[in-house]
Amino acid sequence: MAVLGEVVVVVDECDHMKVMRAALASHQPAQGRIVVQPTPASSRPAALAHDVLYALGKRLAPAPGAADVWLDSVTPAWLAAAAWSTATGVRHVVVTRAHLLTARRIDQLLAWRETTGVQLTLLWQASPRRLPPALIGARRCVSTPGVLEAILHTAGPLPAQPSFPPTAAAPATDPAVAQPQSILQAQLAWPATAAAIPARTCTGASASAQRQPPAHAHTVAPTDVAALARIAHPLITGALSVLAFTGTQPGALRWLRDLDITPDIDTLKTHAPNHLGCRLHALPTWARPLLAAARTHHRLSGHQPEEALFTAVLTSGARHLRAHAARLPTLNLAMPPRVLVA
């Protein structure tokens, strides 16, 4: 874990409009800073995590019992927020109207900071006497917007955003990866029920990429890219992105491991039954932060690189994956229940 960013409480007891405007204007996700505006008077246990996800550009599927009902649970919601913020290089988080947060939600926010290492700046627009014990000692009194702006633009100790260098294709050929088109076509009819992982071990993407250049990604329309990027669950958006840019069948998701994505997140390897037709795929630029978030979510959950990446959304979360796939009709990703384990 990187060095933890500090926690700064900006006490603005008079609730100056210029202070709020300066805070809202500092929302610059591309530069690693987001502004979280807590939903007032929300009784949902994971409401603050939802607000963080919203600030990260994620949108929850509407209606009760919809595709994102999993987010009603506190731990999954904060895990998703941690994965997205870590993978996209968020270093500084500004929270407005922090004085309206309950002690429990402040504790959730501080625990999220412990996981991600972000710097927290909390706008406390009330008397400092109301500060909870968890925030005592982190206070900075601000009387002018200029002082706040200095805090907002002070570089923190955290690393910069992840770097995704361009792919360097190797000229050699790996016959175990490159398969004749006839074999690939024959494998379009995947087993109707969930199958076991292929018997023999297959190398990961990094080892295979040294011998075989990846195939070009399928073109995905900008509107579909935007829709995928707005999905809140990192594993769901990662799984659907893989199907979209590789053109592979849903069954291949069962066998895709963490180590089937190169460390720089520029190449992905998909597997087939008995490893006849395993292929390398170049990751399009738009998919790289989505797969980075999926991998981060996997590792924050305590899984090892050798373990399957999408198990959680192919078993207990399968209905959520299917629901999101159905919401993207132009990508033709809808999958029958028998393909996944519900």
Q: Which residues contact 290 (CB under 8 A, 6 or more apart)?
A: 228, 229, 234, 237, 238, 241
pLDDT > 90 in the chain, percent: 41
Q: Is 106 helix (H, G, I), strand (E, B) or coil?
A: helix
Q: In this structure, are residues 29 and 94 in contact, taking their beta carbons and an 8 Å threshold?
A: no
- Residues 213, 145 share a domain: no
Instruction: Give yes or no for residue 277 having a pLDDT over 90.
Output: no
Instruction: Compute and round to an integer the Cα radius of gyration of the chain.
Output: 22
- Residues 139, 54 share a domain: yes
Q: Which residue has the higher pLDDT, 308 or 62?
A: 308
Find the domain containing 303 and state its range: 203-339
- Residues 29, 143 share a domain: yes
Q: How confident is the model at residue 305 (pLDDT cuts 50, 70, 90)?
A: confident
Q: Which residues contact 286 (CB under 8 A, 6 or more apart)?
A: 220, 225, 228, 229
Q: How many CB atoms lie within 10 A of CB 126?
A: 16
Has residue 192 been placed in a domain? no
CATH of the domain at 304: 1.10.443
Has residue 94 been placed in a domain? yes
List, for residues 230-248, the tens digit of each pLDDT value: 999 999 999 999 999 998 8
Q: How many CB atoms lie within 10 A of CB 306?
A: 10
Q: In this structure, are residues 176 and 275 in contact, taking their beta carbons and an 8 Å threshold?
A: yes
Total domains present in the chain: 2
Torsion angle, CA of 201/207/209/215, rounded to 10 degrees?
10
List, for residues 81-106, the tens digit of each pLDDT value: 999 999 999 999 999 999 999 999 99
Q: In this structure, are residues 53 and 81 in contact, taking their beta carbons and an 8 Å threshold?
A: yes
pLDDT > 70 in the chain, percent: 73
Q: In this structure, are residues 173 and 211 in contact, taking their beta carbons and an 8 Å threshold?
A: yes
Burial class (CB in 10 A: 0-12, 13-18, 19+), 56: buried
- Residues 132, 263 share a domain: no
Q: What does pTM read for this prediction? A: 0.81
Q: Which residues contact 26 (CB under 8 A, 6 or more apart)?
A: 33, 35, 94, 149, 152, 153
Residues pairing with 300 in the sheet? none
